[in-house]
Amino acid sequence: MVKEEILKALRSSGGYVSGQELCEKLGVSRTAVWKAVTKLKEEGYEIDSVSNRGYRLRNLPDVMTEAEIGSRLRTKIMGRNCVCFESTDSTNIQAKRLAEQGAPHGTLVCAEMQTEGRGRRGRAWSSPPGEAVYMSLLLRPRVSPEHASMLTLVMGLAAARACNELLGRDAVGLKWPNDLVIDGKKAAGILTEMNTEIDCIHYVVIGTGINVNTRTFPEELSQAVSLYQAAGQRLLRAELIALCMEYFEKYYEQFEKTEDLRELKEEYEKLLVNKGKQVCVLEPGREHTGTALGINDRGELLVELPDGQVEEVYAGEVSVRGVYGYV
C-alpha cells in the first residue's frame, strides 16, 4: 500500500517530492518511505534521491507489479487483490489455484510470461516475456450457471474499450465471441473457465491475453497484431490493465443486475466487426455460411441463413470466421 501511494505521488508531481511530505501524507516513518523506495528501485523503477529535495521518478517503466497496477486502479473491487508473477504456467491455472484457496471475488492474476498459455479449444497461446498482458480475473458471480458464459463478451467489451482509450481512437474491434481485432488481425483473445454445479457457480476465471508492445511476429503468427503496431509507440501495460478493470467493473455491475447483455448489446455491436459480414459457422460435423446480424440479449450471434431463417449461434465449441479469411 505504501509503494502504491508513493508511485501515485511521484507520478502526479512530475518532479521531486520530499520524504517528509510523503511521511505526512501516508502517515508512516521516514524509514518506511526509504524502504518502499528501495524496493521500487529493485523492481525496476528509476528513482532519483537527492538530499533536501526528496525523490523523483525519472521515467515511467513498463512493469507489471502489484504496486504499479494498484497505483493506477480506480475500481472498488476488480483487481484490488492482485498477484503478479515474473513467470508462471498460466494465469488461468494460478487463478484457479487461488480460487480453491478462498481468494476473493475480483482477484487479478498477472504474469510477465507464461509457459503453458492456452487459448480457446486447447490451442497454445504464445506468451513471450515483457511484451504482452497476460491476466486472469477471478469472479464469484451471483448469477445462474447457464448465464456465466456471457462474461466472455463482457470482458471482450471492457478490453476493447480499454485498448481504444489507451490508443486514443477506435482501432480495436470485437470478433465474436472472444477475440479483439485491429484491421482484420488478432490483437487479443479471451478464455473463460468455470467451476460450477447444476444450480450454483463456485467461481469463474476469465483469462485475457493482449498483444501490447510486440514489434514483429513470426511468420506462423501472420494473423496477429499488437497495439504497438497500431500506435507506433510503446504503451504502458499496467495502465491498460487498470483501464480493463475499470471498464469491466462498470459492465459487470450491469450484467449482474439483469443476468444478460440487454444493457450492453448496443455498445457491443458498435465494435462487432462480424456484423453485416458473411461468416462461416464451424460446428462439429457441420459447416455453414450466413450473414451476421449482431447478438441477442444472451450473447448469441444472430446469423441469417441463405433461406432467410435466423440462427442463434451459441459460442460453446462453435467457431465463426469470415468466409474469405479470419474476420
- In the chain, CATH 1.10.10.10 sits at 2-57
Q: Which helix (H) or strand (E) holds 204?
A: strand 201-211
Question: Would you state the pLDDT for residue 1?
Answer: 81
Compute the radius of gyration of the chain from its Cα atoms. Answer: 21
Question: Would you state the pLDDT for residue 285?
Answer: 79
Please give the single-letter amino acid code of residue 134.
Y
- In the chain, CATH 2.30.30.100 sits at 278-322
CATH of domain 278-322: 2.30.30.100
Read off the DSSP letter of residue 104: P
- In the chain, CATH 3.30.930.10 sits at 66-270
C-beta of residue 252 within 8 angstroms of C-beta of residue 150: no
CATH superfamily of 66-270: Bira Bifunctional Protein; Domain 2 (3.30.930.10)
C-beta of residue 35 within 8 angstroms of C-beta of residue 6: no
Q: pLDDT tens, position by position, for the chain (327 residues)? A: 899 999 999 999 889 999 999 999 999 999 999 999 999 998 889 999 998 899 999 988 899 999 999 999 999 999 999 999 999 999 999 999 999 999 999 999 999 998 876 655 455 555 567 899 999 999 999 999 999 999 999 999 999 999 999 999 999 999 999 999 999 999 999 999 999 988 899 999 999 999 999 999 888 888 999 999 999 999 999 999 999 999 999 999 999 999 999 999 999 999 999 999 999 988 877 888 999 999 999 999 999 999 999 999 987 666 787 766 777
Read off the DSSP letter of residue 56: E
Indicate the fold that domain 2-57 takes in CATH. Arc Repressor Mutant, subunit A (1.10.10)
